[in-house]
Structure 1
Amino acid sequence: MTDHATLLKSCAGGDRAALHALMEAEGGRMLGVARRMLRRVDLAEDAVQEALVLIWRRAHQFDPERGSARGWVYTILRNRCLTLLRREDREVATEPEAFDRAADGAVVNQAFDRLGTTSDLRRCLEGLDKQTRQAILSSYVLGHSHGEIAGRMEAPLGSVKSWVRRGLGKLRACLS
């Protein structure tokens, strides 16, 4: 049987192996508890991970005179689950693929529309073809890599790299 109090004391001292041992001993049960509370596997996994991080950071706060180490661990997990449930109430579930494409297009369009009509950058971006402008804005506004842009635009990676490279050259020339 695992001595949770000793493992927590070791965690407080910076022993990563103790956290690993605690995770090995309780991780499966923690995930089960979180799944029952949250009713979603993805949220349960997040709750367990966040709880383990908190256990690592707060292990020095454990006081064996106030309760059992195992109870302390599950209290942290329970609180993380409740926090995630509160957050979840405010969120509206959307399919990730639909959200990504719709949100990306909307954000890029909003960023472009927010440029003043007399802005030099807007004038120069308008001078680019649509694909090049979309690739550059996706890269700089959304922070997407060339590979992500290629996947979202359903275009070859080499083409996206060329669009961005040539487009940036045209923007430099136009803005100088």
Structure 2
Amino acid sequence: MSAPDPFDYDAALAACARGERQALAQIYQREGRYLLGVALRIVRQRQSAEDVLHDAFVSIWQRARSFDPGRGAGRGWIYSVVRHAALNWVRSHGREVPVDEERQAALEDELALDRHAGSLDPAETRAELGRLETCLDRLEPERRECIVLAYLDGCSHGEIAQRTHKPLGTIKSWIQRGMRSLRECMA
């Protein structure tokens, strides 16, 4: 895995809450392309993904005051806002979006996570995050890295294969098996 990121997402969100537009611009500059990847993976249309990302950043700006670092990391909160915006877009457009098996599994994971996260109080959320971290630590480092790149950074399987210099089939297999292991560990 890469070295820890020195950018302070929590501080950037606090600056957004104070009305400092530069903080939002910094978040966009650092994460925009990855967040676009997350939206694109869900809505499957570039123009719509760009619209979702725009709406998500408006929401981040407007809701920055509601971010509570005691409930989770700022970077995760930002990605959650984008995922929710993309899922809401799919729901509100009420049409079938063609999905392959890989995308269907990812959407099911996202929806299950959203439903589960919405049903927990802050203390339960922290406990679940602790369990998730423990479960992630049990994975082989290469599988853990692939899952983090896919679900946190919004990378496609092809992008992960390029970054890790591994065959695409291997990456798909590692992510699928890793997610299965995480589900079993969290159950």
Q: TM-score under structure 2 normalisation?
A: 0.47
**Counterpart-to-counterpart distance in 2, 1:7 and 1:25:** 11
Distance 2:66 2:52 in 1: 20
Q: Give the aligned CA root-mean-square deviation in angstroms.
A: 1.6
Runs of 4 or more, structure 1, over 3 Å off, are: none
The alignment of Structure 1 onto Structure 2 pairs a total of residues equal to: 92
The whole-number CA distance in structure 2 between the counterparts of 1:33 and 1:14 is 26
Is 1:14 aligned to residue 19 of structure 2? yes
**One-letter identity of the residue aligned with 1:9:** A
Q: Bigger radius of gyration, 1 or 2?
A: 1
Structure 2 Cα separation of the partners of residues 3 and 25 of structure 1: 11
Measured after TM superposition, the shift of residue 88 of structure 1 is 2.2
| Separation of aligned partners in 1, 2:11 and 2:30 | 13
Q: Distance in 1 between matches of 2:40 and 2:63?
A: 23
Correspondent of 1:83 among 58, 80, 88: 88
Q: What SS does the corresponding residue of 1:66 show, helix, strand or coil?
A: coil
Using structure 1 for the length normalisation, give the TM-score.
Answer: 0.50
SS of alignment partner, residue 63 of structure 1: coil
1:67-107 CA-partner distances (Å, limit 9, x unpaired): 0001111111111001110122259xxxxxxxxxxxxxxxx
Residues 1:37 and 2:42 are matched in the alignment: yes
Give, in angstroms, the shift of residue 2 of structure 1: 1.4
Distance 1:59 1:89 in 2: 29
Provide the secondary structure at the position in 2 that maps to 1:9. helix
- Relative contact order (alpha carbons < 8 A, sep ≥ 6): 1 or 2 greater? 2
Cα drift, residue 24 of structure 1: 0.3
Provide, for residues 36-91 of structure 1, a one-character-per-residue CA deviation record: whole Å limited to 9, x for no partner. Answer: 11111011001110000000000011000000001111111111001110122259
1:68 pairs, out of 59, 69, 73, with 73
Identity %: 43
